[in-house]
Structure 1
């Protein structure tokens, strides 16, 4: 499994479709946002997106510049508090559309309508490090010539399931939403100048051999010499590149990777804290618990009880 897929499995990244509409003429949809990560996909037509933090926007007074979304484009809103989406043309009245309005897709005409899908990106606490810190306030992912075919194809298949209301559609929508999210992130990695962090280091070819070692044997305290040799780099060049790309030294990355593995084990398995400490290369249960609390903010057992209680209450 490649490192990006491996991390996605660990943090339970999921795309969830929550609404959509097809509309002709002038229209607007606006409202406050509750989700940490929301996505807007333009299936057909065009739309203009405004949100706090987009292109210097600082208010909802209509004076800031909009993000122009073309067919096949997707926008991800990261920690925004409000958004306004608008589109259409003509002299008729402006249709007001509820932000999560659904059920208006079966009669969509792709030749004349603006067709929009909206949803959220769910992720566990560990996933916030991966995506919330890697994405800008508004990430505009374009259906570029190199990625456009896959992204548009995934969006169209997702739309067909949402609009078709066929048997098994709930399951199919979940699967297609996952593939759409993957294609969106693939396109974003190609198009954007990523900041230092998880998403950038996971897609760096020169550092991949070193990441493979740390991911496959997290119990080993890897030294700079071994990691540098794996990537056919000098110790100094490797250390500098890793810090520039990951935003942290290799040892810090290894510690955070261990903590992500620990969170999954505490959440999904019945492993004891002592055996987990041994599996992850800590000299004692106490050393592991101290490292876990420093990274996660609570003890391993408290974390286990809290996340399992949350899962039961859903």
Structure 2
């Protein structure tokens, strides 16, 4: 399977590869004085990273977020957002953000500087993060292990404004690291994550077992063996895993295999029989039955649909797959 996401050493890396996560910086804003602006949100997972100063982020449907330098705010399936910094008694300058200009400047100086962008993922990732993240996730630079957020945002801004050769490539790579840092910080400090894949990753005791399943999905795993990896009794492991992931360990493993199969059928040219063998199925028919049960269509039908309509097949699959609900 291309890129072999199942061979990642840790489960978060495997998940990010599977959902094809990427950080995309679309532009920046440098404003001075009192200011305000509103814009529609086109992407499901919008982020705003504050480089300098402060900004009030008001998405539709939720309470406003007050972000300062180094903070990152992720807006999860919001339709519109208002950004502002209006000191008491001040009359703000209202303006529109340009979809053409990579950097919008308002007023003299750079009192408030921020970056705008989104987390690009495939349909599997959109479904996963939609249920796993709150409508507005505020990751503070003051949180433990979050010091790199400010540095990454500042480096991206410097690359955007320095007009150096290779800056587009540098921004793209730094944006990847910024998204990773935000998710790491959120998972490390989350008091409560809904049961599902991210809920599983927040449990340090269960992570080794999840990593083992991700690293070798074709292995005939037994509950006793996974419990031993987690240094737990069989019963305690099964109960704790179900509470964190929302499903029993073997059901989770089956769903993970189908997710890997979905990507392989879309991107790789291996036969269905070879894929079935690699994912641990004793026969091609057993794999085909399991795939159709969760996805709603046969592997060959899914492959044809995915390659004929790459922008629609994943959405169709996500809407019919019971496996998706197991992982999110």
Alignment match, 1:58: none
Give the 3 Å change call, closer, same or farther, for CA 312–70 of structure 1 in structure 2: closer
Q: CA deviation at 1:12?
A: 1.0
The residue that corresponds to 2:316 in the other structure is none
Match of 2:137 among 136, 139, 157: 139
Given that 2:31 and 2:106 are in contact with CA atoms closer than 8 Å, whether structure 1 keeps it comes out as no
Q: Structure 2 vs 1, CA of residues 105 and 200 (structure 1 numbering), >3 Å: closer, same or farther?
A: same
Structure 1 residues 222, 129: closer, same or farther in 2, change over 3 A? farther
CA distance in 2, matches of 1:95, 1:108: 11
Aligned to 1:293: 292
Correspondence 1:155 to 2:158: no
Deviation, structure 1 residue 191: 2.7
Task: State the 4+ residue runs in structure 1 displaced beyond 4 angstroms.
Answer: 105-110, 309-313
1:259: which partner in 2? Answer: 258
Contact 2:48/2:116 (<8 A) preserved: yes
Distance in 2 (CA, whole Å) between partners of 1:299 and 1:138 is 38
User: TM-score if structure 2 supplies the norm length?
Assistant: 0.83
2:101 maps to what in 1?
A: 102
C-alpha spacing 1:224/1:142, structure 2 compared with 1 (3 Å): same
C-alpha contact 1:20 1:116 (8 A) present in aligned 2: yes
Kept after mapping to 2: 8 A contact 1:78/1:137: yes
Alignment correspondent of 2:32: 24
Q: Which runs of 5+ in 2 are unaligned?
A: 1-8, 313-328
Decide whether aligned partners of structure 1 residues 157 and 291 sit closer, same or farther in structure 2, where only a CA change above 3 A counts: same
Cα offsets for 1:74-110 (capped at 9, x unmatched):
1111111221111143634423132746343689987
- Contact 2:75–2:137 (CA<8 Å) still a contact in 1? yes
User: d(CA) in 2 for partners of 1:288 and 1:36?
Assistant: 33
Alignment of 1:81-230 (within 5 A): 81-89=79-87, 91-98=90-97, 100=99, 102-104=101-103, 112-193=110-191, 194-230=193-229
1:32-84 Cα deviation digits (max 9, x unpaired): 222111111111111111123323xxxxxxxxxx2111111111111112211
Give the aligned partner of residue 47 of structure 1. Answer: 55
SS in 2 for 1:205: coil
Please give the TM-score of this superposition, normalised by the length of structure 1. 0.87
Change (3 A) 1:108 1:207: farther
Mapped partners of 1:167, 1:103: distance in 2: 16
Question: What SS class does the counterpart of residue 133 from structure 1 fall into?
Answer: helix
**Alpha-carbon displacement from aligned partner over 1:122-175 (angstroms, at most 9, x marks no partner):** 111222343222101111111125234211111111111122232111211110
Q: CA RMSD in A?
A: 2.5
Seen in structure 2, the aligned counterparts of structure 1 residues 306 and 130 have a Cα distance that, compared at 3 Å, is same
Tell me how far 1:236 sits from its aligned partner: 1.3
Q: In terms of mean alpha carbon deviation, does 280-289 or 166-175 score higher?
A: 280-289
Distance 1:48 1:288, change over 3 A: same
Change (3 A) 1:168 1:239: same
Q: How far did residue 25 of structure 1 move? A: 1.5
1:7 to 4, 15, 19: 15
Could you tell me which runs of 5 or more consecutive residues in structure 1 were left unpaired when the two chains were aligned: 56-65
SS of corresponding position for 2:43: coil
Q: Is the 8 A contact 1:27 1:97 kept in 2?
A: no
Report the more deviating stretch, 217-226 or 33-42: 217-226
Shift of 1:176: 0.4
After TM superposition, give the deviation of residue 242 of structure 1 in Å. 0.3
Matched, 1:233 2:223: no
